[in-house]
Structure 1
């Protein structure tokens, strides 16, 4: 059964690059969202196993998504993908439930390492 992936970023190019960086042998179904509101709508409509989440987005940012997931007791693995690499942002994202923080621009090695570090075997 494929792993359900949700890629959330306001940049279509960033979403495309992240999708290309996913392990090629990984059996996945991929959905995309351009902001946090779309992300939460997609999450509520179906199962999401892994969410790749940008922090800086219009309408509803990544921190608001993490907060909503936590307060509504929603369960998925969240990997933050952001250019905001300040230690404070990383610590805040992790404290809010993110399992990993990957710096933009993403590449396959960074994604593989984040998945492997959390025990997701591909």
Structure 2
């Protein structure tokens, strides 16, 4: 089964790095958005299985986008990736319904582990 993944980050470099960390085994179809508002629109269009979202972005930040996504789909699996590791931000993201919060910079191994955990959660959900 192919999983749809949405990458939401204002940095093209960060999106490229994340894209390279996702296994190229044909199991994932990857979509990108450059800010929270664009991410919200793409989320509504494609209904991704997994969304990776940065917190600090222009137009609409990741926290607001996460809240809006959860209003539309309470079961949405959103993984926050951020350089902001203040406990308050992590707690707020988890309180809004983030599946997990990852500290940037990310690694291929951490993404592989997160995708495995997310897949398990998606299997349980169905």
TM-score normalised according to structure 2 size: 0.87
Return 5+ residue gaps in structure 2 as ranges.
none
Partner of 2:116: 116
Task: Kindly indicate which of the two structures has a greater share of residues assigned to helix.
Answer: 2
Q: Secondary structure at the match of 1:13?
A: helix
Whole-Å separation in 1 of the counterparts to 2:117 and 2:50: 14
1:98 maps to 2:104: no
Deviations 1:39-92 (A, max 9, x none): 011111122110000000000000001110122335421111110011111111
TM-score normalised according to structure 1 size: 0.89
Instruction: Give the superposition deviation at 1:111.
Output: 1.2
Instruction: Give the superposition deviation at 1:24.
Output: 3.3
4+ residue segments displaced more than 4 Å: none
Greater CA drift, 87-96 or 22-31: 22-31
What's the Cα RMSD here?
Answer: 1.8
Return 5+ residue gaps in structure 1 as ranges.
none
Call closer, same or farther: CA 1:81–1:39 in 2, change over 3 Å: same
Partner of 1:78: 78
Aligned residues: 121
